[in-house]
Amino acid sequence: MNSLLIVVHIIVCISIILIVLLQVGKGAEAGAVFGGTGQVQSSRGQATFIGKLTAGLAVTFMLTSFLLTYDTANNAKSSVIDKVKQEQVQQDKAQEGSAGTSQTAE
């Protein structure tokens, strides 16, 4: 499930970026870069559709973000620090075991 959420999340992220870049702005009009001429081509219907699409993608982005966070929090039962401490304890025991066998051999 985590892989599916990551794929959906990446697709939504790219889609949001593209939709926002295609929107006609009041200032610099970044939409003109892709062939738009500002107010001549944009009608109220297109602006409403793009606005609704942007809102839907934003909601989907938030939901996938929350679900990924929830899934990761439930899967991570221990922290990285705990794992490092366990590895150090195992290494210390291994060194003590090898040191003990070499002392008894002498």
Q: How far apart are CA 57 and CA 55, in angstroms?
A: 5
pLDDT at residue 103 greater than cutoff 80? no
Instruction: Specify the pLDDT at position 102.
Output: 56
Q: How far apart are CA 45 and CA 22, in angstroms?
A: 15
Determine whether 12 is exposed, middle or buried from the number of CB atoms within 10 Å of its CB (0-12, 13-18, 19+): buried
Write the CA distances from 32 to 12, 19, 59, 68, integer angstroms: 23, 13, 27, 36
pLDDT digits (tens, 9 = 90+) for 28-60: 555 555 555 554 455 555 668 888 999 999 999
pTM for the complete prediction?
0.56
pLDDT at residue 6 greater than cutoff 80? yes
pLDDT digits (tens, 9 = 90+) for 48-101: 888 899 999 999 999 999 999 998 887 777 677 777 878 888 888 888 877 656
Domain ranges of the chain: 2-75, 79-106
Instruction: Specify the pLDDT at position 74.
Output: 79
Would you state the structure tokens that stand for residue 32, as one six-digit string?
A: 């003109």
DSSP for 11-28 reads HHHHHHHHHHHHSPPSSS
